[in-house]
């Protein structure tokens, strides 16, 4: 009886985890990104203010290794108070939301960018950024 209950609990846990993964995946249903095209998106949308060189900050911080990085962690970059307070990880999902409409994520941030509405372009850009590490 105990064994049966234990198996049932384990199955429930696995189902719960699977459900969680599927649910998360459904919430972030971004198209597959093309890093090659993302390089062009970066040149067009980001390169005036950001670099992908390690340690190279412009008006915006270096985006080298940004995917998976904690927010506001570059020591010698002057982040806004709002960005410092965000305390998030730049997962692909979070980056996608931020790039789509920065002010919706960091309302008092200082980045002068209205956002990139094209989901495919965002996916390509994030794929490119993920390759810069």
Partner 1 sequence: MSFVPDALALPSYARQTGEACDSCHVGSFGPQLTAHGMKFKLGGYTDSDGKPGHLPLAAMLIANYTHTAQDQDPPPDDFSKNNNVAMQELSGFIAGKLYDHIGTFTQITYSGVDKVTALDNTDIRYARETTLFGQEGTIGVTVNNNPSMQDPFNTLPAWRFPYTSSDLAPGVEAGPLLDDMIAGTVYGITVYSQLANGMYAELGNYASFSNNFLDVINVEQGQEINGLAPYWRVAYFKDNRSASYSVGVHGMSAELKDHGASGAGDKYADYGVDGHYQFLGNRMNIMSVNGSYTHEARDVAAEKSNLNQLNVAGSYYYDKSYGGTLRYFSTTDDSSAKLDSNGWMLQADWTPFGKENSWQAPWANLRLGLQYTIYNKLNGESGSVAGDANTLMGFVWASL
Q: How far is the CB of 99 from partner 1 (least distance, A)?
A: 13
The reply on whether position 118 binds partner 1 by CB under 8 A is no
Residue with Cβ nearer partner 1 (51 or 90): 51
CA distance 18 to 67: 24
Residue with Cβ nearer partner 1 (58 or 69): 58
For residue 130, count other CB atoms closer than 10 A to its CB. 17
State the DSSP code for 62. Answer: -
Of 46-85, binders to partner 1 (CB under 8 A) are 47-49, 51, 53, 56-59, 76-78
Q: At a CB cut-off of 8 Å and minimum separation 6, what does 45 contact?
A: 113, 116, 121, 125
Cα radius of gyration rounded to whole Å, the chain: 19
**Interface contacts to partner 1, rule CB under 8 A:** 39-40, 43-45, 47-49, 51, 53, 56-59, 76-78, 112
């Amino acid at each position: 009886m105990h064994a049966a209950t234990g198996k049932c609990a384990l199955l429930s846990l696995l189902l719960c985890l699977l459900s969680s993964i599927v649910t998360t995946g459904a919430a972030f249903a971004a198209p597959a990104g093309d890093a090659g095209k993302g390089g062009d998106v970066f040149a067009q949308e980001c390169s005036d203010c950001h670099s992908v060189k390690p340690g190279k900050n412009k008006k915006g911080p270096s985006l080298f290794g940004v995917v998976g990085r904690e927010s506001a962690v570059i020591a010698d970059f002057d982040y806004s108070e709002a960005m410092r307070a965000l305390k998030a990880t730049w997962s692909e999902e979070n980056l996608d939301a931020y790039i789509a409409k920065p002010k919706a994520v960091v309302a008092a941030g200082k980045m002068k960018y209205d956002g990139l509405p094209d989901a495919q372009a965002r996916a390509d850009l994030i794929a490119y950024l993920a390759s810069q590490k």
